[in-house]
């Protein structure tokens, strides 16, 4: 355990823990539980170190816990939240109004994904590189095929072709090993860091055992050829990971599986399907509806030092180019 006071006008104290501690259990019990990431899952995310250094920061005000921040170290100076990307509507356990102040008090550079929160992130003088990304969502009560026929989507003919090409394949939900197959192959395809892959698998197992994680497969004579994973959030269905076997690209197995998943979600009674942001192809499936934010909280001294380093590196590169 490491303890340090920070000279911050918000008057918060930060105590660092390299490993989970009983003090954190007591503090966690006093904090509101995140909807999509229960305290038990958050604790496991911090405790599981694997290939990356993790630590927890207990943030207190006048001796009372206001937040516990779980971090993974990425690079020499940067950190990311242990809930980064994997868990929607989950930053870290905190009292109302303390998410951004707690991040400011840490004194380290932290990348934050702000997804499916009740509002946009509040402003901060330490917020850098804020990016606002449109999210594509479809109402499950809508006529999917009507949207796919529009010129905005232009996806209907492709979907019809994939239905024919995949008519002999089997659609399966939550079969044993399906989540592992999909997530492992997703990680390899995108060259994911081992720690992110490990945490993704742990989260999938944890939520699946509690009926809060779904994996959809398309099977060719029992062989998985495409997979999608989703988690419920409130009454929405949120896309997580995806993989398709490149040997079956001519069949359009990824497209066919998403087509089937849309209809499954509607029949299951979900309100919307949330495909997240980035990647232009998502507009073929659903219109833009909502936003997610990615930003960095970085203390001023570190930010200025990094600016100076980047300037020096650029100047050196330009000088070397002139010499050549």
Q: Given the structure tokens 């355990």, which residue do they identify? A: 1
**Which tens digit of pLDDT belongs to each residue from 61-93?**
999 999 999 999 887 778 999 998 677 789 999
pLDDT at 74: 83
Q: 233 φ, ψ to 5°?
A: -135, 115
Residues composing the chain? 324
Share of the chain above pLDDT 70, in %: 88
Q: What secondary structure does DSSP assign to 43-103, as a single string?
A: HHHHH--TTS-EEEEEEEETTEEEEEEEEEEETTTEEEETTTTTSTT-S--B-TT-HHHHH
Q: Indicate the helix (H) or strand (E) that contains 280.
A: none
- Strands (E) across the chain are located at 2-4, 13-17, 54-61, 64-74, 78-81, 109-114, 127-139, 170-173, 214-220, 223-233, 236-244, 272-277, 288-297
Q: 212 φ, ψ to 5°?
A: -120, 20
Q: What is the C-alpha to C-alpha distance for residues 211 and 173, in angstroms, rounded to an integer?
A: 12
* Residue 90, both tokens: 């989950």
- What single-letter DSSP state applies at residue 167? T
Topology at the third CATH level for domain 2-122: Aminopeptidase (3.40.630)
Question: CATH 3.40.630.30: which residues of the chain?
Answer: 138-290
Topology at the third CATH level for domain 138-290: Aminopeptidase (3.40.630)
| Residue 139 pLDDT greater than 70, yes or no | yes
Mean pLDDT of 157-162: 98
Kindly indicate the confidence band of residue 303, based on its pLDDT and cuts at 50, 70 and 90.
low
Considering only CA atoms, which of 94, 103, 57, 91 is closest in space to residue 297? 103
Give the predicted TM-score (pTM) of the model. Answer: 0.88
Average pLDDT, the chain: 89
Q: What is the C-alpha to C-alpha distance for residues 300 and 126, in angstroms, rounded to an integer?
A: 7
> Which pairs from 301-307 meet CB under 8 Å and 24+ separation?
302/77, 302/108, 302/109, 303/109, 303/126, 303/128, 306/77
Question: Which residues lie below 8 Å from residue 250, measured CB to CB, with a gap of 6+?
Answer: 165
Q: What secondary structure does DSSP assign to 176-192, as a single string?
A: TTHHHHHHHHHHHHTT-
**Which tens digit of pLDDT belongs to each residue from 239-269?**
999 999 999 999 999 999 999 999 999 999 9
Considering only CA atoms, which of 227, 137, 139 is closest in space to residue 183? 227
Residue 77 neighbours by CB distance under 10 Å: 12
């Amino acid at each position: 355990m490491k303890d340090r006071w920070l000279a911050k006008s918000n008057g918060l104290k930060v105590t660092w823990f390299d490993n989970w501690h009983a003090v954190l259990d007591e503090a966690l019990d006093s904090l509101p539980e995140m909807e999509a990431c229960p305290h038990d899952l958050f604790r496991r995310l911090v405790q599981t170190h694997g290939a990356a250094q993790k630590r927890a920061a207990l943030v207190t005000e006048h001796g009372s816990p206001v937040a516990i921040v779980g971090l993974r170290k990425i690079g020499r100076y940067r950190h990311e939240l242990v809930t980064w990307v994997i868990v929607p509507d989950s930053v870290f356990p905190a009292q109302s109004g303390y998410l951004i102040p707690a991040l400011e008090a840490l004194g380290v550079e932290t990348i934050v994904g702000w997804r499916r929160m009740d509002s946009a992130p509040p402003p901060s003088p330490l917020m850098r590189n804020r990016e606002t990304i449109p999210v594509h969502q479809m109402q499950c009560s809508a006529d999917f095929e009507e949207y796919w026929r529009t010129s905005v989507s232009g996806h209907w003919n492709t979907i019809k072709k994939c239905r024919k090409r995949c008519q002999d394949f089997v659609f399966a939900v939550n079969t044993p090993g399906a989540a592992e197959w999909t997530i492992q192959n997703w990680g390899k395809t995108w060259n994911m860091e081992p720690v992110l892959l490990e945490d993704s698998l742990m989260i999938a197992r944890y939520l699946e055992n509690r009926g809060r994680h779904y994996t959809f497969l398309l099977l060719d004579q029992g062989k998985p050829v495409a997979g999608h994973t989703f988690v419920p959030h409130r009454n929405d269905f949120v896309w997580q990971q995806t993989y398709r076997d490149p040997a079956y690209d001519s069949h359009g197995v990824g497209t066919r599986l998403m087509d089937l998943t849309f209809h499954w979600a509607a029949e299951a009674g979900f309100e919307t399907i949330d495909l997240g942001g980035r990647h232009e192809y998502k507009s073929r499936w659903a219109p833009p509806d909502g936003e997610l934010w990615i930003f960095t909280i970085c203390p001023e001294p570190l930010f200025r030092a990094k600016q100076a380093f980047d300037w020096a590196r650029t100047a050196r590169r330009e000088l070397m180019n002139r010499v050549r």
